[in-house]
Amino acid sequence: MSAQPKSKAAALFWAAAISLCLAFGAWQLGHGLYIMAKAELAQLLLDRAWAKTLRDGSPHKAWSWADAWPVAKLEFPSLGTSHIVLSNASGAALAFGPGHLSGTPLPGEGGTTVIAAHRDTHFSNLRELENDHPVILTTANGNRQEYRISAARIVDARESGIDPRAGNALAIVTCYPFDAKERGPLRYVLFARPVEIENASQQFR
């Protein structure tokens, strides 16, 4: 038997393999673009829902089936980023933005408010924040409160040492280490203390 059929079969195999790789790459690209588009649309809808809340002080869902709604806006001026904070920190909510941790005071209600987000999305750059960097939190009633980072700690989620009844503070939390692929018990926490309060509601009237 000649080598020609074998060569033809090998050529067909490699052509099929290359086509499969190209198709998979195209699917990956399309899937990535879909995820990016969905994230952009989610942010647009969250911004609109937040603007409504600032106008009338009532909670507004960004889409009808959402199980969370905007309760605050968190800004990191030194990073040039801002995030709408959702009413809970469930897995579904954290896919779209930072969430307020249940069992801790709502933003602006005193005590230590805890806000959490994923380390590979909304809070991926928390490690770039340092002591005295500003954090601005706008609450649902339009109060705009400035904080300053006062400490950074790595804690065990089971014994975080965060007391929600203590003082008037903000704890910003994400998983740690930042580059880990699997979720573990460690958390990276930035603590911030308030420095000034002003009302920002007028700009939305």
Instruction: Give the span between the Cα atoms of 111 and 106, in whole angstroms.
Output: 9
Contact 101, 173 (CB under 8 A): yes
**Mean pLDDT to the nearest integer, 23-27:** 48
Nearest to 78 by CA among 143, 170, 152, 146: 146
pTM of the model: 0.77
pLDDT digits (tens, 9 = 90+) for 69-96: 999 999 999 999 999 999 999 988 888 9
Reported as a single tens digit per residue, the pLDDT across 147-201 is 999 999 999 988 888 888 888 899 999 999 998 888 899 999 999 999 964 444 4
Please tell us whether the domain made up of 42-204 is placed in CATH 2.40.260.10. yes
- 205 pLDDT more than 50: no
